[in-house]
Amino acid sequence: MCEQEKRIGERARESVPGWITANTLGNLTEVAAYRYAANTCRNSTRSLAFDSNEKLWSAIFEESIATENCKVELQGFCLTEWLPLRPGRFHTDQARSARDWAIRNSYIREDDENAPRALRRAVGDVSSGKGMRIFDPNGKMTMVDGGIGCVRLKSLPNRDTYRWPFGASSSMVAHEGVLVALSDFDHDRLIGDVRHFGGLRGTLQGTLRIVPRHDVTETMFGQGIPQVYIDVEKFEPEPSREINPIEVTAAVTFTSPGTRSSKLNVSYVTFNVAKSGELKRAVDWLEQIYVRDAYGGIIVTDFDEQTARFDRVRFSLSKLLNGLVSRADIQSVENHLGMHGELAETLSRRNIVVYGDVYGDIYSAEQAGAMGPNASVSDTSITINRKLDQ
C-alpha cells in the first residue's frame, strides 16, 4: 500500500477541527423548517439559464445575478423526490474543506485494531468485491458538514400551489442540486416515472424564490447561503426515458454510548434510488452493521417522511414536522447516553416543539408544550419567542 493510501486510511486520532461547526442533531432537525409555507411573490422580467449545479449555485451565491423572482431555466437537470438536507452547502469552500479533511483523516482500515470489528470486516471484504471505504463517526459528521445528505418529504399543506418539495440536480447526485417545489398537477403527472426511472431528466422552467424569514431559519441553509428554492412552472422530460442512477445519501443521527465520549453521532449511507431493493439494503446496513454492531447505538432521526425506515425513531421527520416530540422521547435518549438535560437544551435552541409534562426548560399545558424561556402556550397554538442561535 502506498504512503498516500496509508494516510487516507488512518482513522482520525485528532480532535475535530475548529471550523467544523455542525450541531450533530441540529443538522437533521432543522429540516423541520421545510414544512412552512412560502409567500406568493411577484415575478421579474429577468431570465437566466443554467446547465449545471455549479453554475446555478455560483449565480445564487452572487446575489446580484440570480435574484429573487427572476425566471430560471435548468437545462438537462434531473428531477427527483430526494432533496438536499442542507441546500447549497455542498458548493461552499467550507464544505469542500470539510470533505477533504474527512477523506484525509477519517477512513477506517481493516488492520486498525481500535476500529469496531464490524466495520473492519466490511472494509476487509474488498477482496471479494463487497468491501467499501467507511468513515468513522468524526468523518461521517464532517461529510454531513460538507453538504452530504438528503431527505424525502410529504407535501407542504400550507402552500396553495407549489406544495411538493423535490430536488433538481444536473449531476447524478441529489445533494448537489437545488430545492424546487411542484404543483399537485405536475407531481401527479410525473411521480410514477420519477420513481420508476429514479428521476426524470429534462428542462425545468420556474421562478427563483427566497423563503421568507419567518418560515426558514438562516441556520437551515447555513451562514452565507441564500435561502432560495424554485417554483416549477413547467417541466418537460426528455423524449427518451431511461434509468437515471440518482445517488441519494440518507443521513441519520444515532446514539453511541459505547464510544469514548458518549454523544449523538451522524452516519449516512448512499444508494442508487433507481435500483430495486437497494434502499432497503442500505437501510439495513446502516442500522444493523454501522449503528448497532459497530457502536451499540440506536437511530434517533430518520430521513424519509413518506415511509418509516426504522422502528420507533424518537425524533422522526414526522414528529419533527408535526411538533410531536415528547418529553419521554428526550428523556429516553438522554438516559441512554448518560446526558443531563443537554439534549433538551439542543432542541430548545432549535425551537422544536415538545409534548408532555414539565421537563427542564420544557413547559406544558394540557399536554401541549413549547420549549425554552419566553415560550407560551394558548389552547393548541404555540408561540415561541426564543432567539435562535446563529
Among candidate residues 242, 274, 304, the one where a domain is terminated? 242
In a domain, 59, yes or no: yes
Residues 330 and 238 in one domain: no
- Asked if 85 and 175 count as a contact pair (C-beta separation under 8 A), the reply is yes
Question: What's the Rg (C-alpha) of the chain?
Answer: 21
Residues 224 and 332 in one domain: no
Residue whose C-alpha is closest to residue 370's, from 388, 343, 346, 351: 351
In a domain, 290, yes or no: no
Question: Residue 98 contacts by C-beta under 8 Å, 6 or more apart in sequence?
Answer: 19, 20, 142, 143, 145, 146
In a domain, 161, yes or no: yes
In a domain, 303, yes or no: no
Residues 111 and 235 in one domain: yes
Residues 231 and 345 in one domain: no
Residues 197 and 333 in one domain: no
Residues 231 and 370 in one domain: no
Dihedral sign of CA atoms 96, 16, 345, 258 in order: positive
Residues 117 and 237 in one domain: yes
| φ, ψ dihedrals at 75, nearest 5° | -100, 125
Q: Is 1 exposed, middle or buried (0-12, 13-18, 19+ CB in 10 A)?
A: exposed
* Residue 43 neighbours by CB distance under 10 Å: 12
Residue type, 267: S
Q: Which residues pair with 371 in a beta bridge?
A: 362
Question: Residue 305 contacts by C-beta under 8 Å, 6 or more apart in sequence?
Answer: 151, 152, 153, 154, 316, 317, 318, 321
How does DSSP classify residue 187? H
Among candidate residues 220, 242, 264, the one where a domain is terminated? 242
**What is the secondary structure of 29-92 as a DSSP string?**
HGGGGGGSPPPP----S-EEEESSHHHHHHHHHSTTTS-TT-EEEEEEEEEES-EESSTTGGGS
In a domain, 286, yes or no: no
CA gap 122, 131 in Å, rounded? 5
Among candidate residues 226, 242, 258, the one where a domain is terminated? 242
In a domain, 297, yes or no: no
In a domain, 295, yes or no: no
Residues 29 and 124 in one domain: yes
pLDDT for 183: 95
pLDDT < 50 regions, the chain = 1-22, 127-129, 214-219, 357-390
* Residue 195 neighbours by CB distance under 10 Å: 14
pLDDT for 296: 86
What is the residue range of 374's domain? 323-383
CA gap 303, 281 in Å, rounded? 15
Q: Is 12 exposed, middle or buried (0-12, 13-18, 19+ CB in 10 A)?
A: buried
| φ, ψ dihedrals at 31, nearest 5° | -60, -20
Residues 43 and 162 in one domain: yes
Residues 327 and 238 in one domain: no
Residues 78 and 169 in one domain: yes
pLDDT for 30: 61
Task: Say how many domains are in the chain.
Answer: 2
In a domain, 255, yes or no: no
| N-terminal to C-terminal alpha carbon distance within the chain | 44
pLDDT for 199: 93
CA gap 47, 59 in Å, rounded? 12
Residues 330 and 225 in one domain: no
Q: pTM of whole model > 0.85?
A: no
Q: Give the strand pairing for 71-80 and 47-50.
A: parallel
pLDDT tens digits, one per residue of 3-52: 443 443 343 334 444 444 445 555 665 666 565 555 555 556 678 999 99
